[in-house]
Amino acid sequence: MEKIDYGQIINYHTDKLYNSYEFFGAHLCKHHGRKGVSFRVWAPNATGVSLVGTFNFWNDQANKMEKLGDTGIWQCFFENIGEGEEYKYKILKKDGTTVQKSDPYGFYAEKKPGTSSVVADMDGYEWMDEKWIEKRSGRKFYDGPMNIYEIHPGSWKKHEDESHLNYRELADELVPYLKEMNYNYLELMPVMEHPFDGSWGYQITGYYSITSRYGKPEDLKYLIDKCHQNNIGVILDWVPGHFCRDEQGLLNFDGSELYGHIDHPNWGTKKFNFGRSEVRNFLISNALFYFDKYHVDGLRVDGVTSILHLNFGMEEEIFRNREGGTDDLDGVDFLKEMNTAVFGKYPFAIMAAEESTDWPLVTSPVESGGLGFNFKWNMGWMNDTISYMENDFFFRKNDHDRITFSLHYAFNENFILPFSHDEVVHGKKNLIDKSFGTYEEKFKNLKVLAMYQMTHPGKKLNFMGNEIGQFMEWRYYEEIEWFMLEYPIHDAHREYVKRLNKLYMNEKSLWQQDNSWDGFQWIDADNRDQSMFSYIRWGLDDFIVTVLNFTPNVHEDAWIQVPQEGEYRVILSSDDDKYNGTGSTYKKYIKSERDEFNPDRNIIKIKIPGLSGLMIKKKKTRK
């Protein structure tokens, strides 16, 4: 419990207050020796603000707040109350009307349909993740594996009565599953408070309040803590581009548009006004808040493209910046300021941009002219890959370049390769059902696709359900179709993904040189007629050869060039009978031989089954 200086004055308009959550909102504290809660809110255009809540029976005359100088900040202290009290701010606007608002800095909220903020102690949880905190401080993400499992907390699993698992129940079931399946990062779709389930958390009313749908702040901390104790990092999906228009939220907060700017026509939301220092303080503090109070390891920043462009989603270019262009210059400056602040305090952080255009230098440092992120979702790779997989086998040769093109820009940014929630909703079909072919061929396709993702340069992300070959599109109100694992073909696919994930985590050549040509070499990028691709992933002292066959044609004695003379073995075949394949067998070791047409080249002769992927590794020789 803090002891406050009740006469403290801040300049919220000009100062960079990146810890503003320590000042605003509801805080357990002592004032003149009395225990209670201090409340502070920014409402510069209000003619009066009253604190209303369970503690004063929602009486708007009982606790009128004091205006703090000319800062636009209102405050009051209520003694002998603590956690769990519900409250709002009743704003008297200049036109004489009033509105009740939840706290922009509220740390918790009552369950919907209620919209009140709730007093919460953000410092009472006893963390047990000291080893992880120490370990991550020296972590180098670029030359390490990142295998991310993205989930929607409300629909990964449910109780038999269709109610949500709470954060603690989720932790106790999810963390062992992540370990079993060899994922080392969990990404949570937005857990900030939002009124409409169907927005999936992307239209937020409470930026500092984790949603009460799944429990209290200490319950989410338990989930994150348990992940850390099991060497699993946690990334939160975060939405700083726009906010929900519901009346209790930020919209027209004090009778004027304090936080908002441009209307988003396709989302029905309001874009933040990044030109206001108070808005930047609010959002940058919010990013730091989750690192500070919830020990998160990173943020996936949603909708970066909408932050960078004034007319995002609009049919016409209505808005222009001060230089006559259509870039949101304030949005650009905000992203740079945000990343500078985050990495200045948390240098280990993952800051991943969901940016869908060719905006340059997204993952370059701010001082080098970049936006300052350290990862970017590779949306181009994802779209090209899915488009290729949707093709008839016979016509895939016409789209061969969709697979090879990604290597033209693979090292321009630090990429994450995402098969996320966005690809399995709104009639797009689930990942397995996008693939051309019969029921059995779709599973073969999905296995080749998974191997391609895991052996392509870049970090990895998959949405829940991908690993079991779920056909039904994701529905936020239903759990994953776990019952599908009762069918051998689905269970075999999960076993395949588990094995592939383990190889990815253990084989350094798949991630040790992820962001340069030193880590990748084509063997054959031009086998268009057979729709086959072969390449090498290089580590510092090791390598893996990958061969992908995207047609059902079998090649009994294929010649595959290998970089060194020696003995090779298949460490994973997607056609293995363990994974419901045809059971193609291979010698324990396949000795390389000289290419009779080019004696300078080493080759191995090997069977390439139809619709299959092979990962091949050289036997180590003893020195």
**Do β-strands 350-353 and 233-238 pair in parallel, antiparallel, or remain unpaired?**
unpaired
Radius of gyration of the chain (CA): 27
Exposed / middle / buried, residue 160 (Cβ in 10 Å: 0-12, 13-18, 19+) = exposed
Give CA–CA dist 319/324, Å, rounded: 9
**CB atoms closer than 10 angstroms to residue 114:** 12
Exposed / middle / buried, residue 32 (Cβ in 10 Å: 0-12, 13-18, 19+) = exposed
Q: 291 near 284, Cβ under 8 Å?
A: no
Q: 264 near 293, Cβ under 8 Å?
A: no
Could you tell me which of 550, 277, 557, 224 has the C-alpha nearest to residue 392? 550
Could you tell me which of 450, 433, 453 has the C-alpha nearest to residue 442? 433
Euclidean distance between the first and the last CA atom of the chain, given in angstroms as a whole number:
63
Give CA–CA dist 294/358, Å, rounded: 33
**CB atoms closer than 10 angstroms to residue 367:** 9
**521 three-state secondary structure:** strand
Residue type, 152: H
Q: List, by residue number, the catalytic residues.
A: 302, 354
List strand residue ranges (DSSP E) for 347-473, in order: 350-353, 375-377, 415-419, 459-463
Cβ neighbours for 548, distance < 8 A, ≥ 6 positions apart: 448, 451, 452, 532, 533, 534, 612, 613
The residue to which tokens 């945000």 are assigned: 338
Cβ neighbours for 372, distance < 8 A, ≥ 6 positions apart: 335, 336, 338, 339, 340, 343, 351, 364, 365, 366
Give CA–CA dist 229/15, Å, rounded: 38
Give CA–CA dist 306/312, Å, rounded: 5
**129 three-state secondary structure:** coil
**506 three-state secondary structure:** helix
Q: 603 near 595, Cβ under 8 Å?
A: yes
- Look up residue 541 and give its two tokens: 């002292």
DSSP character at residue 619: P
Give CA–CA dist 272/279, Å, rounded: 7
